[in-house]
Amino acid sequence: ETGVTQTPRHLVMGMTNKKSLKCEQHLGHNAMYWYKQSAKKPLELMFVYSLEERVENNSVPSRFSPECPNSSHLFLHLHTLQPEDSALYLCASSQDSGTAYEQYFGPGTRLTVT
């Protein structure tokens, strides 16, 4: 089983829709992350979870709502998004939330908001 999986891989949604992105890690890690990657821009950290508790929220708009039911699963619930939210959303996990640990990324969900 691949280390970090994400579904769906591609998503097109209207501004009034509600959808959810799913991430699952099979590595036994304690920390999980959501990142946003826009073209030609650095990865932007959105949320960090450590042992299922949110430890960081980088001023992300409330139209993005994370959920971490257990240490292996992470969701990103989306509602009333804007066209500028179109990007690649990457999930990652690491052994712990300390920054010295290698991050393992999933393949990402390419989101288009119309």
Partner 1 sequence: RKEVEQDPGPFNVPEGATVAFNCTYSNSASQSFFWYRQDCRKEPKLLMSVYSSGNEDGRFTAQLNRASQYISLLIRDSKLSDSATYLCVVSDYKLSFGAGTTVTVRA
Residues that bind partner 1 (CB under 8 A): 40-43, 45, 56, 90, 99-100, 102-103, 105-108
Please, what is the minimum distance in Å from the beta carbon of residue 108 to partner 1?
A: 6
Query: Which residue, 48 or 113, has its beta carbon nearer to partner 1?
Result: 48
Q: In angstroms, what is the minimal distance from the CB of 95 to partner 1?
A: 13
CA distances from 36 to 61, 73, 85, 92, 108 (A): 13, 18, 9, 11, 9
4-7 vs 53-57, strand pairing mode:
unpaired
- Comparison of 16 and 41: residue with beta carbon closer to partner 1: 41
Least separation in angstroms between residue 59's CB and partner 1 is 13
In the bound state with partner 1, the residue whose beta carbon lies nearer, of 66 and 106, is 106
Q: Which is nearer to partner 1, 84 or 102 (CB)?
A: 102
Q: How far is CA 60 from CA 57, 95, 104, in A?
A: 7, 24, 22
Minimum distance of partner 1 from residue 16's CB (angstroms): 28
Q: Is 84 helix (H, G, I), strand (E, B) or coil?
A: helix
